[in-house]
Amino acid sequence: MKALKGTNYNFPGQKNVYHGKVRDVYNIDDEYLVMVVSDRISAFDVILPKGIPYKGQVLNQIANRSLDATADLVPNWKIDSPDPNVTIGHYAEPFKVEMVIRGYLTGHAWREYRDGKRAICNVPVPDGLNEHDRLPEPIITPTTKAEQGHDEDISSEEIIAGGLISESDYAVIENYTRQLFKRGSEIADKMGLILVDTKYEFGKKDGQIILIDEIHTPDSSRYFYADGYEDRQEKGEQQKQLSKEFVRQWLIANGFQGKKGQQMPEMPEDFVRQVSERYIELYENITGEALRRSDSNDIETRIEKNVLNFLSR
């Protein structure tokens, strides 16, 4: 199995390219964005040394399905997906904030709560909750979009006061965030899953706010298996998660949490295969369909050909 570690194309009209932790995003004349989803995998804000075969395809195709399934609620950036690893869409000026929404007290929110905080991003959280408990209603806990290092929590008041987003625009994206999470939760429920928390990103094109980037993928969202959730909560057991948490746990077990001085452990091929199969399992659980594995013999050439065909139209 071959993995797509990265790309370095020069498409017609290309102004620049942004290489993120997972995605390579090509700006075409400030009109289109060509988003290539690689097989890179990150954890603790560090890109791991080996790519995960089919991971990019899994993320891209889940995001595509989710964008299509929510397009009636919120306008989004997608135009087409000419390749299993590629989405092409409208260029938009992004807001410098990620809209994180949480339905359950898990992850970062739980760690803050466990340490005594009863408000996250100025949103109050009631006393007496346990890890993974469902919140009385979903809460929005935005973060900054850091160019490097960790994103930081930020309140809606700080966003507006700091001029990151106007009050009127923030009201729109907060409403969109709640609508998207409700739809995503309904879709997950039909698949026997719980959408625990997720993030959305928005931008502006010609004065209109649109949804950008990926949504509802296992890299941007956390899922629990619904079957047995209540029983596990009552017994104080950990929930069965459908996310890349298992990769983080493997790194922790091997002495790495992204802290200064820690050495990234060697990833054996057997573990790489396990992670690949796990991502395929994630796809099939989230979509209810078997993944049609794309030809990985020469992924870079295949992608370039498919993107050029699209741009020529």
Mind listing the pLDDT tens digit for each residue in 5-16?
999 999 999 999
Confidence of residue 98 (pLDDT cuts 50, 70, 90): very high
Classified as helix, coil or strand, 87 is strand
Instruction: Answer yes or no: is pLDDT of 148 > 80.
Output: no
Q: Which residues, 6+ apart, have CB-to-CB distance to 153 below 8 Å?
A: 120, 121, 141, 142, 143
**SS3 readout for 209-237:** EEEECCCCCCCCEEEEECCCHHHHHHHCC
Domain ranges of the chain: 14-93+261-312, 98-242
CA distance 114 to 55: 33
Chain centre distance of CA 138: 18
CA distance 153 to 250: 26
Classified as helix, coil or strand, 187 is helix
Considering the domain 14-93+261-312, what is its CATH architecture? 2-Layer Sandwich (3.30)
Task: Check residue 141 and give its pLDDT.
Answer: 98
The arithmetic mean of pLDDT across residues 283-302, rounded, is 94
Where b means 16+ CB within 10 Å and e means fewer, 73-103 reads ebebbbeebbbbbbbbbbbbeebebbbbbbb
Task: Check residue 243 and give its pLDDT.
Answer: 80
CATH, domain range 98-242:
3.30.470.20
CA distance 36 to 52: 15
Q: Which residue has the higher pLDDT, 170 or 44?
A: 170
Confidence of residue 26 (pLDDT cuts 50, 70, 90): very high
Q: Which residues, 6+ apart, have CB-to-CB distance to 106 below 8 Å?
A: 131, 132, 196, 197, 222, 239
Task: Check residue 151 and give its pLDDT.
Answer: 78
Q: Which residues, 6+ apart, have CB-to-CB distance to 10 below 8 Å?
A: none
Task: Check residue 198 and give its pLDDT.
Answer: 97
Instruction: Answer yes or no: is pLDDT of 178 > 80.
Output: yes
Distances (CA, A) of 51 to 27, 57, 85, 237: 24, 12, 14, 32
Task: Check residue 35 and give its pLDDT.
Answer: 98
Classified as helix, coil or strand, 80 is strand
Instruction: Answer yes or no: is pLDDT of 245 > 90.
Output: no
Phi, psi of 249 (to 5 degrees): -65, -35
User: CA end-to-end span of the chain, whole Å?
Assistant: 32
Q: H or E stretch including 290?
A: none
CB atoms within 10 A of CB 256: 18
- Amino acid in the structure at residue 210: I
Q: Please, are residues 188 and 218 in contact by the beta-carbon 8 Å criterion?
A: no
Where b means 16+ CB within 10 Å and e means fewer, 22-52 reads bbbbbbbeeebbbbbbbbbbebbeebbebbb
